[in-house]
Chains A and B, each alone.
Chain A
Amino acid sequence: MSRYRITINKALASLLLVIIFSFNNSVFAADGEALFKANCSNCHKPDADYTGPALKGWSTREPDKNWVYKWVANPAQMIATDPYAKSLFDKWKPTVMTAFSNLKKDEIDAILKYVDDYAPPATMAGTSGTGAGGETGSDNTLLYGILTLVLALVALILLQVNSNLRKLSDEKEGVHRGEPVPFYRNKTYLMAGVLVLFAVGGYFVISGAIGLGRMKNYQPVQPIYYSHKVHAGVNQISCLYCHGSAQDSKHAGIPSVNVCMNCHMAIKEYKGDPIVREDGKSVNGTEEIQKLYQYAGWNPDTKQYNADKNADGIPDGAKPIEWVKIHNLPDHVYFNHSQHVKVGKQQCQTCHGNIQEMPEVYQFAELSMGWCVNCHRESKVDFYNKETKEGNKFYSIYEKFHKDIKEHKLDSVTVEKIGGTECQKCHY
């Protein structure tokens, strides 16, 4: 029986590996996707009309790429001069597309390629992957545990048999031994038992102590069932649209209710794929949006905020949403989002996991010091290259490293090299 299980487990494990790898690729590789999410996704969807038109199939409407370049660089001017642009404006007015003069041609190409190749992601792929991984892991442990137990039992029986045989042979030879000691009073056994207990107990105590205050996989119930998967995943809203202060502040910030209302004044009901909680209950997205209206003091029927009759500066009945904080760092840790997002150019997913796949957010990383330090040891800073003038010019002052790089003693500069693992970088 166990033979089959091993085969199944192996298969599952390799499947998991494949999933993880393909998954990572999908996050980090596609340049067009990143660009699309960063620049376009607030107003466009690849396959559906949104604030602006769906982008997929653009070439059927306007085959000339040059038109696209010009349009992206300066929509206002195009509206004034180009007839197709004018017709687009008439359809979508009064909204005018923001000019993205900073986008290079190859970047626009990448975006166009991305929208053309776009296929809606298969549902729940990520979640089922993780689930499978969890099962395989625990099965193996169980298996080894049972194996160990069986072997230990066999060893015990053999030892008993051995000692009985020796006793018999001794008796045969006339050697008289004292009254046999039952195995549960045998000091060797007892000692071995104590040692095993100590080791196992110690292991659990220490790993438990290390885990104190760590809340990996913490997934509290939130006042509104807010799905990052629907917003960041399906609808491709850039993380920074809501968590804008991540690039300016130590806090990533939770969007204020008025930020939610920017979109939800228009989006009144949920029409996407059904949302199912992990416990199997289904979630009514439209009802959750109604909860938001309650908090915002918005009347979806009149499409207006409630009057401010009590003159406290906010619509009557409105109140801020009390989200449950998931990522908690101890008070003696200083962490700055803007340092990591803006200077370190880290993806949100590096620490928060595939947020765009999470129906409800859980703590993805351990957020332990070892976890932080490991990344600081491995990550490279955007070191300044004096010849090509590339990289962050701040690092031009590190004369020694420039010299070492020139003399090929050093190939890159990690965060650790510039002091990123020192105590007072995070503790003060």
Chain B
Amino acid sequence: MSNKKYWQNFGEMNQSEAFNKSSENEFNEQLLPFEEISNEGLLDGKTPRRDFLKYLGFSTAAAAIAASCEMPVRKAVPYLQKPDNVIPGVPNYYASTYVNGGDAISVVVKQRDGRPIKIEGNELSSITKGGTSAQAQASVLDLYDTTRLRHPLQRDGKDFKEVTTFDAFDAMIASAMGSIGTKPVVLLTSTISSPSTLQIINNFLAKYPGSRHVQYDEVSYSGMLLANEACYGKRAIPSYQFDKAQTIVSLSADFLGTWLSPVEFSKQYASNRKVTGEAPKLSRHFQFESMLSLTGSNADDRYTHKPSETGAVALALLAKLGGAVSAPSIADAKVKAGIDKAATELMKTKGASLVVCGSNDMNIQVVVNAINEIIGANGTTVNWASTNNTRKGIDADMNTLATDINSGAVGALLVYGCNPVYSHADGKKLGEAIAKLPVSISFNGTLDETTENCKYVIPSHHWLESWGDAEPKTGHFSFMQPLINPLFKTRAFQTSLMKWTGSQTVNIPSFDSAGNLLGVTPSKVSSADYENYIKDFWSAKADFQKALQDGVIELEIAPAAATFNAAALAAASGKAAAAKSGATEVVLYQKVSMGTGSQANNPWLQELPDPISKVTWDNYAMVSPELAKSLVGLDIMNNQRQADAYEVTPEKPVIKVTLGGKSLELPVLILPGLNDNTIAVALGYGRASADEKNSLERIGRSATGAGKNAYTLVGFDGTTYSYNGVATAEKTSTTYPLAQTQVHGSSESRPVIFETNLASYTKNPEALLEEPRNERMGLLVEGKTDFVKDGTIYPDYEKPGIKWGMSIDLNTCTGCSACVVACTAENNVSVVGKIQVQKAHEMHWLRIDRYFTGDVKNPDVVFQPMMCQHCDNAPCENVCPVAATNHSSEGLNQMTYNRCIGTRYCANNCPFKVRRFNWLDFTGADSFKDNQQPLRGSELNEVVFQMNDDLTRMVLNPDVTVRSRGVIEKCSFCVQRLQDSKLEAKKQQDPALVRNVKTACMQACPTNAISFGNVNDKESEVSKARADKNRNFYVLEQLHVLPNVSYLAKVRNTDRHVGIAEESHEEAHS
């Protein structure tokens, strides 16, 4: 057995009795109607025989009725005039851009018979290089959101009434705008990087003297913008080049998860984390933070401190690097040692080092700029030639606007793409003030918290229905083109502004090779709508069709430095160190799934388990075991009974967190790896209408009731918003259930992960997998050597043509979960709702197992994507009584839904616990129409009923069966894509074409951790990945199930021994 110990929760770590019992009872279900006979014999119960006959009779009769129904008459309606480029049944792919708030990701959208159904990354974009995020993947479902507004609205008392034509709406706006007098018009938007939209806004502002445009980021980067203005004279954010960084130090910046441009950074970061060759070179990553972030969990070395100590850590690092500041005292010896270590490493790789900081405090960011100056990052890993345009909001501007609105000093407020009533700390008050303004217009697509306070609502298109452009980084243009005719009577925000501005000129820009604006040529707009405008706008570009086809225009820009002004440091260093600190501090963070909360009504994101906490559908107060002891009196490290009581039930104690006079009641989630003084709370939850009873209809079925709004705890220090602060917390008498998928599918402490550190690996790469190899050899009969052929009594079946296989690199998997959402979208995986997740009924075909190992207070984290392993000697296949699951000659473990009778023997026999059972009708696919209704509320959350809506069903992939109640399902290796690629290869008569096939998870992965292909083909990606014999392992290989998914063991670039103390002990002996 391995000495390394990996654990998913405290019960597993301590091997407590209740934990073991609960994992034994993994498939315990109370849904069967024969409750009374569960313990007694079939005939000894109260009325089992009669019940049995009743159910038998009913099901026979029901089946007879259902089956004998006449075949429905189906219509086949061809086009009247078929468009040239549409062949029914053949998908088209168009490049576009996912835009949400400031975020802009170049994507390619799969459009099937006129409806967009899947988002893929655009490999032509040098920013994302084909990567996507969970949010971009999920956004296709937002298009079919039932809360989307279907026409323009005008407030009518407390409610709204429809405005029937756009002309009527325009006339209404014209007269309203005429009556505001001298009060200013304010356009409040999220950060806009679209060059054409910015021009339209300028034209609009020019019509109303005194008007202004305020850009507002729901999670602010003001601190960086202002610090860069002070240090470099530019109110901008540079591009970071993690691919050029050999040493990375992150001070609370979650750059792999949520910070700034995580897809871009993940791609860059992973390029230095691939283990290749004899003496592999890996970048070294230090993380200093207070909570356990996704980035922190990937760090080689991680140190925790109080949230208020970020400034002190930055200053200490600067001082250690020789900066002209006095080092503050750092109490924690480990952090101190970590700073020393980080400083040494940063200097060792000077010119290829990078320090980033997630704080929104301008002073801390100035200190970080000074550090980057010393380590030679400016111009190398920090590129000022191309700035990041996705965050431009200045907090003081927003707060001034809030004051103006509250005092009624604003004539007209136009809101687009942001939701300040929800995301501003004083949102409620702001909402009431907006309602009193003379004119308030919202362009948002739903009746969200801000929109419902506006007088006029003219919904803009969803991005999949829009024309548009974006410039996420200077010189990197990304284009949007509509994938579908607008579903509803909506109008582009830009078109509305153009109509209201009146006569228009378009300033056609020309750029130099660096992407700088050379000048503009004014020209008359051909018609007052955005579609024509954008075509005119880009008419100077020679081949706009080509640009639309590619989705991007990228200018060559050489990296450059900016001149650093050291004067700013003196003032900042004093303030950075002076942060207050208290016994308990709150830090507000974003989850990779929910982000700022703008996509909160997306059930795919709500049900996506947080990579670290594995909780779905809620936010909570994340605390360390130590803090839990003092806060709620649970000593889960030492008192096993308390630990079990806490962990085995979903009910968690609730604490009341008070910060700056505002308080929130949140359930406590105990996780290792947090600073002992820190309570971490996620933003983006707790969406609700002003009047609760409207929430379901306006905010939506997914967002309503999910978590609490932590934006209310955001502070303002006069310059910037602060996302941490000294708080008090007290226990309440209530509990609250959290739906956590953490130990669903426990590996029961079998060794499933192998890892080592870089030094040991370079010294003796073969030692990494020696232990499982020896174990396998021990299982063989004397004289035999081939485990695959000799380790079993079963015959070896040949795979004559193709044998599909997958390889996953644990070194580059960051746990970002984009793959999970991609899988959900591709394979019609159903959403089950919070109640069912609590019962371990989540349907995800692909889960990311998170394991802790090592130091209990500050553990290492390993992520392991786990899906059907397509075992060649699969235990599930042998036990199926109806052969509904069997093996193909291409190595696929096939699941045939129409044959499955739901015994679930296969799920019980799967060592990887990847088979999912449809306990209820989650998709409305059953032949009995209303069998979901009786379970509404008690077993099924409101959100499950979304799939009964024709609008939402448009997102379904027509090539994948929608499963009904009572059948097992699981990862199919995206068999529909495999079949399609083979068909293409056969049509083209070229077997090499199957190398192009990508599974949905692989395609979504921003770090290329997953490779897939034909194992029989030595040139395929997967064969190349598996050639790394020293790291290639199969999970539970000793069971001789012969999986077709292999993993590459993790190698950390750290001096520590990876794993627990026993290992170092053992190595000392050897």
| Residues of chain B with a CB closer than 8 A to A330's CB | 898
> Is A110 engaged at the interface, CB distance under 8 Å to the other chain?
no
Contact indicator A393/B76 (Cβ below 8 Å): no
Contact A324:B979 (CB < 8 A) given known A256-B81, A330-B898, A419-B888: no
Selected interface stretch from A5-13, A21-29, A336-344: A336-344
Interface residues of A in 293-342 (CB under 8 A from B): 295-296, 314, 318-325, 328, 330-332, 334, 336, 338-339, 342
Q: A220-B73, A325-B74 are in contact. Are A318 and B80 (CB under 8 A)?
A: yes
Task: Answer whether residue A253 sits at the interface, using C-beta atoms and an 8 A cutoff.
Answer: yes
> B residues 989-1021 with Cβ under 8 Å of A?
989-991, 1014, 1016-1017
Point out the residue from B77, B81, B802 that lies within 8 Å of A397, measured CB to CB: B802
Q: How far is the CA of A110 from the CA of B67 in the complex (A)?
A: 52
Rounded to whole Å, the gap between the CB of B994 and the closest CB of chain A is 9
* Residues on B with beta carbons closer than 8 Å to the beta carbon of A401: 800
Q: Is the CB of A328 within 8 A of B78?
A: no
Question: With the chains together, A328 CA to B77 CA distance in Å?
Answer: 14
Q: Which residues of B contact A215 (CB under 8 A)?
A: 71
Q: Is the CB of B888 within 8 A of A422?
A: yes
A185 at the interface (CB under 8 A from B): no
Interface centre among A220, A245, A401 (most CB of B within 10 A): A245
A393 contacts across to B, CB distance below 8 A: 989-991
Which residues from A are CB-within-8-Å of B894?
Answer: 422-424, 427
Q: Are B959 and A213 neighbours in the complex by a CB distance under 8 Å?
A: no
Q: Is B90's CB under 8 angstroms from A428's CB? A: no
Alpha-carbon gap, A342 to B983, bound state (A): 10
With A249-B88, A422-B889, A427-B896 in contact, is A400–B798 under 8 Å at CB? yes
Set of chain B residues within 8 Å of A251, measured between Cβ atoms: 88-89
Asked if B77 and A322 make an inter-chain contact with CB atoms under 8 angstroms apart, the answer reads yes
Chain A residue with Cβ nearest B972: A428
Is A321's CB under 8 angstroms from B990's CB?
Answer: no
A253 in contact with B78 (CB, 8 Å): yes
- Shortest Cβ distance from residue A376 to the other chain B in the assembled complex, whole angstroms: 13
Using a CB-CB cutoff of 8 Å, which residues 407-428 of chain A contact chain B? Answer: 418-419, 422-425, 427-428
How far, in whole Å, are A323 and B79 apart by their CA atoms in the complex? 11
Q: Is A396 an interface residue (CB 8 A)?
A: yes
In the complex, residue of chain A having the shortest beta-carbon distance to the beta carbon of B83: A256
Tell yes or no: A192 within 8 A of B by CB: no
CB–CB B898/A343 < 8 A: no
A254 CB within 8 Å of chain B: yes
CA distance A50 to B246 in the complex (A): 75
The reply to whether B78 and A323 form a contact with Cβ atoms under 8 Å apart is yes
A-B contact count (CB 8 A): 151
- Determine whether the beta carbon of B75 is less than 8 Å from that of A338: no
Interface-centre pick from B889, B961, B986 (highest chain A CB count, 10 A) = B986
Q: Which residues of B contact A343 (CB under 8 A)?
A: 983, 986-987
| CB <8 Å contact, A397 and B801 | yes
Complex contact A428–B79 (CB within 8 A): no
Please, what's the 1-or-0 string for A236-264, where 1 marks a CB less than 8 Å from any CB in chain B?
A: 00000000010011110111111100000
Q: What separation, in Å, do the CA atoms of A332 and B987 have in the docked complex?
A: 25
Give A331 to B889 CA distance when docked, in angstroms. 24
A352 to B892: give the CA distance in the assembly, Å: 32
Q: Does A4 contact B (CB under 8 A)?
A: no
A201 to B960, CA, bound (A): 38
- A245 lies within 8 A of B888 (CB): no
Please determine whether A248 and B87 come into contact, CB atoms closer than 8 angstroms: yes
What chain A residues lie within 8 Å of B835 (beta carbons)? none
Q: Tell me how far the C-beta of A159 lies from the nearest C-beta in chain B, rounded to whole angstroms.
A: 39
Residue interface mask A51-71, B partner, CB < 8 A = 1: 000000000000000000000
Bound form: Cα–Cα A245–B986 in Å: 17
State whether A253 touches B88 (Cβ < 8 A).
yes
Binary A-proximity of B73-101 (CB < 8 A = 1, otherwise 0): 11111111110000111100000000000
What A residues does B886 contact at CB under 8 A?
A: 422-423
Tell me the minimal C-beta distance from A195 to chain B in angstroms. 23
Asked if A258 and B972 sit within 8 Å, CB to CB, the answer is no
Interface flag for B899 (CB, 8 Å):
yes
A401, B798: Cα distance in complex, Å: 11
The residue on A at minimum CB distance from B959 is A334
B897 at the interface (CB under 8 A from A): yes
Interface pair B78/A254, CB less than 8 Å apart: yes
CB B89 to nearest CB in A, in angstroms, measures: 4
**B975 close to A424 (CB less than 8 A):** yes
A215 to B76 alpha-carbon distance, docked (Å): 17
A334-B959, A397-B1016 are contacts. A323–B801 as well, Cβ < 8 Å? no
Which residues of B have CB within 8 Å of A427? 894, 896-899, 961
**A424 to B888, Cβ gap below 8 A?**
yes
Count residues of A near B (Cβ-Cβ below 8 Å): 56
- Check if B77 sits within 8 Å of A321, measured CB to CB: yes
B962 at the interface (CB under 8 A from A): yes
Q: Beyond A254-B78, A324-B75, is A424–B800 a contact (Cβ under 8 Å)?
A: no
Q: Contacts of B80 on A, CB cut-off 8 Å?
A: 256-258, 295-296, 314, 318-320
CB-based nearest B residue for A339 = B983
- A382-396, CB < 8 A from B: 392-396
Chain B min CB distance to A298 (Å): 11
The reply on B985 being an interface residue by CB < 8 A is yes
Query: Do B74 and A256 touch (CB < 8 A)?
Result: no
The CA of A332 and the CA of B925, in the complex, are separated in Å by 11
In the complex, how many angstroms separate the beta carbon of A126 from the nearest chain B beta carbon? 25
- Nearest-Cβ distance from residue B774 to partner chain A, whole angstroms: 33
Which of chain B's residues has its CB closest to A209's CB? B67
Contact B82 A394 (CB under 8 A): no
A394 and B71 contact, Cβ closer than 8 Å, known pairs A320-B80, A332-B898: no
The interface residues of chain A lying within 8 Å CB-to-CB of B170 are: none
Contacts of B892 in A (CB 8 A): 424
A398 at interface by CB-CB < 8 Å: yes
Q: A257 contacts which of B78, B960, B1016 (Cβ < 8 Å)?
A: B78
Interfacial residues of chain B within 28-77, with CB under 8 A of chain A in the complex: 67-68, 71, 73-77
In the complex, which residue of chain A has the Cβ closest to the Cβ of B894?
A424
Select from chain A the residue with minimum beta-carbon distance to B887.
A422
- Contact assessment for A253 and B81 in the assembled complex, using a CB-CB cutoff below 8 Å: no
Are A324 and B74 in contact (CB-based, < 8 A)?
Answer: yes
Is the CB of A279 closer than 8 A to any CB of chain B?
Answer: no
The verdict on A324 contacting B961 (CB below 8 Å), with A392-B986, A419-B890, A424-B894 known, is no
Given B75, B87, B895, B976, which contacts A334 in the complex, CB threshold below 8 Å? Answer: B976
> Given A427-B961, A428-B960, are A257 and B74 also a contact pair (CB < 8 Å)?
no
Is B896 in contact with A424, judged by CB distance below 8 angstroms?
yes
**Is there contact, CB below 8 Å, between B78 and A320?**
yes
Residues of chain A contacted by B67 (CB below 8 angstroms): 209, 212
| A399 proximal to B (CB < 8 A) | yes
Closest to B67 in A: A212
Contact indicator per residue, chain B 947-987, by CB within 8 Å of chain A (1) or not (0):
00000000000011110000000001001100100110111
Considering the complex, give the chain B residue whose CB is closest to the CB of A418: B801
Of B79, B800, B962, B987, the contact of A342 (CB 8 Å cutoff): B987
**Taking the nearest CB of chain A, how far is it from the CB of B418, in angstroms?**
35
Asked if A428 contacts B78 (CB within 8 A), the reply is no
- A319 / chain B contacts, CB cutoff of 8 Å: 80
**Chain B residues, Cβ within 8 Å of A249:** 87-90
Q: For the complex, what is the distance from the CA of A343 to the CA of B990, rounded to whole Å?
A: 12
Complexed CA–CA distance, A255 and B979 (Å): 26
| Interface pairs (8), CB distance under 8 Å | A253-B88, A253-B89, A258-B79, A338-B983, A392-B986, A418-B800, A422-B889, A424-B888
Instruction: Enumerate chain A interface residues (CB-CB to B < 8 A).
Output: 209, 212-213, 215, 220, 245, 248-251, 253-259, 295-296, 314, 318-325, 328, 330-332, 334, 336, 338-339, 342-343, 392-401, 418-419, 422-425, 427-428
Binding site for A on B (CB under 8 A): 67-68, 71, 73-82, 87-90, 798, 800-802, 886, 888-890, 892, 894-899, 959-962, 972, 975-976, 979, 982-983, 985-987, 989-991, 1014, 1016-1017
- Per CB-CB distance, the 4 closest pairs between chain A and chain B, nearest first, are A249-B89, A256-B82, A256-B79, A424-B894
Known: A296-B80, A394-B982. 5 other contacts (CB 8 A): A323-B77, A334-B959, A334-B976, A392-B989, A422-B888
